[in-house]
C-alpha cells in the first residue's frame, strides 16, 4: 500500500510543481485578454500567460531533474513528452475549471470546493493518457489514480494552513 502511495506521488510530481509554480509566477496579461463571453469573463483574471508558461517550464524542468533521480534507482522510464503532458495537462485542467466556473456564474477567486483542488490532476491524467497511453497505463493503476484524487484535497488544505501560519496567505484555505 505504501508503495502505491509513494509511486503515485512521485510520478505526478511534475503536475503538482507545474500547478504551484503557476500560482507563484502568475500575473500580467490574462489568457483571455480580459474578454467576455455572454456577459461573463471567458476565463477571468486568475489565468495568465505568465502563469501558464511558468508552470509548464517549471513542471518540465522538475520532471527532467526527477528523471535523473529515477535513473539512479534504475527507472529510466520517463521522457520529455511525458513531463510536458503532465505539466501542460495540469494547467489545461485548471483553465478548463475556470472556464466552467465562469459559465456557472462563480466569480474569479471564489471557491468551487473539490474541483478547485483536483482540476489539475484530472487535466494531467487526461492529457497524459491521450498523448502517452502506453506509459500512462503501465504506471498509473486505478488505485494510484484514486489515491491521488482523494489525497490531493487534504494535501492542499495542509499546505494552505502552513502557508497561512507562515504569513504567505491571508486565509487558511
Q: Which positions lie near ligand CTP, rule CB under 6 A? A: 22-23, 26-27, 44, 46-48, 51-52, 91, 94, 98, 101, 108-109
Min CB(29)–ligand CTP separation in Å: 10
Alpha-carbon gap, residue 1 to 162, rounded angstroms = 27
Nearest CB to ligand CTP, comparing residues 93 and 139: 93
Cα 24 to Cα 3, 106, 130, 169, distances in angstroms:
30, 23, 28, 12
Closer to ligand CTP by Cβ: residue 51 or 63: 51
Beta carbon of residue 22, minimum distance to ligand CTP (angstroms, whole number): 4
Whole-number minimum distance, CB 46 to ligand CTP, in Å? 3
Distance of closest approach, residue 90 Cβ to ligand CTP, in angstroms: 10
Report in angstroms how near the CB of residue 95 gets to ligand CTP at its nearest: 6
DSSP string covering 10-56, please? HHHHHHHHHHHHHHHH--SSBTTTT-EETTEESS-TT-BHHHHHHHH
C-alpha grid cell, residue 48: 495568465
If the CB atoms of residues 29 and 133 are measured against ligand CTP, the closer one turns out to be: 29
Please, which residue, 32 or 82, has the CB nearer to ligand CTP?
A: 32
DSSP-assigned letter for residue 132:
-
CA atoms of 38 and 63, how far apart (whole Å): 39
Match 494547467 to its residue by C-alpha cell.
Answer: 91
Q: Which is nearer to ligand CTP, 26 or 63 (CB)?
A: 26
> Are 21 and 58 in contact, with CB atoms under 8 Å apart?
yes
Amino acid at each position: 500500500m505504501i508503495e502505491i502511495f509513494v509511486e503515485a506521488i512521485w510520478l505526478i510530481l511534475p503536475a503538482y510543481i507545474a500547478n504551484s509554480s503557476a500560482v507563484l509566477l502568475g500575473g500580467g496579461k490574462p489568457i483571455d485578454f480580459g474578454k467576455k463571453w455572454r456577459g461573463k469573463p471567458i476565463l477571468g483574471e486568475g489565468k495568465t500567460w505568465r502563469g501558464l508558461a511558468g508552470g509548464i517550464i517549471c513542471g518540465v524542468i522538475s520532471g527532467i531533474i526527477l528523471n535523473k533521480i529515477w535513473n539512479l534507482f534504475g527507472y529510466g522510464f520517463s521522457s520529455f513528452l511525458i513531463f510536458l503532458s503532465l505539466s501542460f495537462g495540469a494547467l489545461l485542467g485548471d483553465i478548463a475549471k475556470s472556464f466552467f466556473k465562469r459559465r456557472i456564474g462563480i466569480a474569479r477567486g471564489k471557491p468551487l470546493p473539490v474541483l478547485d483542488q483536483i482540476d489539475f490532476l484530472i487535466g494531467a491524467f487526461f492529457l497524459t493518457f491521450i498523448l502517452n497511453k502506453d506509459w500512462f497505463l503501465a504506471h498509473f493503476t486505478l488505485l494510484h489514480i484514486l489515491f491521488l484524487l482523494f489525497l490531493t484535497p487534504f494535501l492542499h488544505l495542509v499546505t494552505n494552513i502552513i502557508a497561512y501560519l507562515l504569513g504567505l496567505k491571508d486565509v487558511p484555505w
